[in-house]
Amino acid sequence: MSRIIFCTFLKKNHEGQDYQVYPGKLGKKIYNQISKKAWHKWITKQTILINEKKLNMFDIMHQKEIEKEMKFFLFNESN
C-alpha cells in the first residue's frame, strides 16, 4: 500500500516516497512533505542545473550549491 502525504510542493495529497531519498534532517523533511512526483520534478531540474553550471558532484562546494537550489525549488527556502 502506498503512503499518501500532503505534498507541500504540489499543494495536494499525493503518493509519498517509499524511503528517505536524502540523508539527515533535510531528508526527513523531504520524506514527510515531498511526493514522488515532486521529487521526480526536482531530479529533472537538478540534472539541468548540473549540466548548465558544469557542476562537479565530487566538489563539496558544488554539492552545497545543489542542496541550496534543492531547498529553494522544493520548499522556497533561500537558505
Q: What is the pLDDT of residue 49?
A: 98
Q: pLDDT tier at 2 (50, 70, 90 boundaries)? A: confident
Question: How many structural domains compose the chain?
Answer: 1
Closest of 53, 64, 75, 70 to residue 9, by C-alpha: 75
Each residue's pLDDT tens digit, 34-79? 999 999 999 999 999 999 999 999 999 999 999 999 999 999 987 5
pTM: 0.91
Domain containing 56 — which CATH number? Answer: 1.10.3880.10
Q: Identify the domain containing residue 71 by its residue range.
A: 4-75
pLDDT of residue 79: 59
DSSP string of 32-76?
HH-BHHHHHHHHHHHHHHHHHHT--TTSHHHHHHHHHHHHHHHH-
The pLDDT of residue 77: 80
